[in-house]
């Protein structure tokens, strides 16, 4: 997946979208004790850097048990406009006992089309290194589209994953 930016998309716009993601993660921390405040800051910085370069396709933050998602928030970057929504409405009742917190990131086709040296140069600007691997499975849960955060023609559509009751 790739998206293009208008010439008016700036780092400030990327921070506007990323701040909403960070607010969601802060609510997640309030309800479930993870991620840490330092991790939230690093995830926000990573989101901004990749978004401003056009290198972010999708990123997910959540909890998994036995290789399957239990609760998760996933943000997919795409062209989009409209009235920006406020962060929030993070479900507060997921059973995350005996789970592991995870984050899974997918780069855009723009990033994938860079040379290996260019990809490594981008990755060096990020606050931490990620390792390659598959994301968790869905198990017995479902995704719900519930928010969209926009700025200057770019959006991050949020989906929430919850296990079936």
Sheet (strand 141-151) strand order:
100-107, 56-65, 68-79, 154-163, 141-151
Give a yes or no: residue 2 inside a domain. no
Q: Per DSSP, which regions of the chain are E strands? A: 56-65, 68-79, 100-107, 141-151, 154-163
Give a yes or no: residue 158 inside a domain. yes
Quote the pLDDT of residue 50.
97
- Work out the pLDDT band at 46, boundaries 50, 70, 90: very high
- Work out the pLDDT band at 4, boundaries 50, 70, 90: low
Give a yes or no: residue 26 inside a domain. yes
Give a yes or no: residue 63 inside a domain. yes
Which CATH number covers residue 31? 3.30.900.10
Enter the tokens of residue 88.
């929030």
Give a yes or no: residue 5 inside a domain. no
Give a yes or no: residue 3 inside a domain. no
148: containing domain: 11-163
Round the average pLDDT of the chain to a whole number and report it.
Answer: 91
Give a yes or no: residue 44 inside a domain. yes
Quote the pLDDT of residue 87.
83
Domain count, the chain: 1
Q: What is the pLDDT of residues 60-94, one digit of tens each?
A: 999 999 999 999 999 999 988 777 778 888 989 99
Give a yes or no: residue 129 inside a domain. yes
- Work out the pLDDT band at 7, boundaries 50, 70, 90: low
Q: What is the pLDDT of residues 12-33, one digit of tens each?
A: 999 999 999 999 999 999 999 9
- Work out the pLDDT band at 5, boundaries 50, 70, 90: low
Q: Roughly how many angstroms between the first and final C-alpha of the chain, as a whole number?
A: 33
CB-based burial label for 159 (10 Å; 0-12, 13-18, 19+): middle
Q: What is the pLDDT of residues 99-145, one digit of tens each?
A: 999 999 999 999 999 999 999 999 999 999 999 888 899 888 899 99
């Amino acid at each position: 997946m790739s998206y293009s930016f208008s010439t008016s998309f700036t780092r400030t716009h990327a921070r506007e979208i990323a701040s909403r993601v960070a607010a969601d993660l802060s609510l997640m921390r309030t309800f479930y004790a993870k991620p840490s405040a330092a991790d939230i800051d690093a995830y926000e910085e990573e989101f901004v850097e990749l978004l401003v370069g056009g290198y972010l396709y999708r990123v997910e933050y959540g909890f998994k048990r036995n290789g399957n998602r239990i609760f998760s928030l996933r943000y997919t970057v795409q062209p989009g406009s409209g009235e920006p929504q406020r962060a929030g409405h993070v479900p507060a009742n997921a059973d995350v006992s005996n789970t592991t917190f995870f984050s899974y990131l997918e780069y855009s086709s723009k990033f994938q089309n860079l040379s290996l040296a260019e990809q490594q140069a981008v990755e060096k600007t990020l606050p931490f290194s990620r390792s390659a691997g598959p994301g968790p499975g869905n198990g017995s849960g479902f995704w719900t589209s519930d928010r969209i955060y926009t700025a200057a023609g770019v959006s991050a559509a949020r989906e929430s994953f919850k296990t079936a009751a």
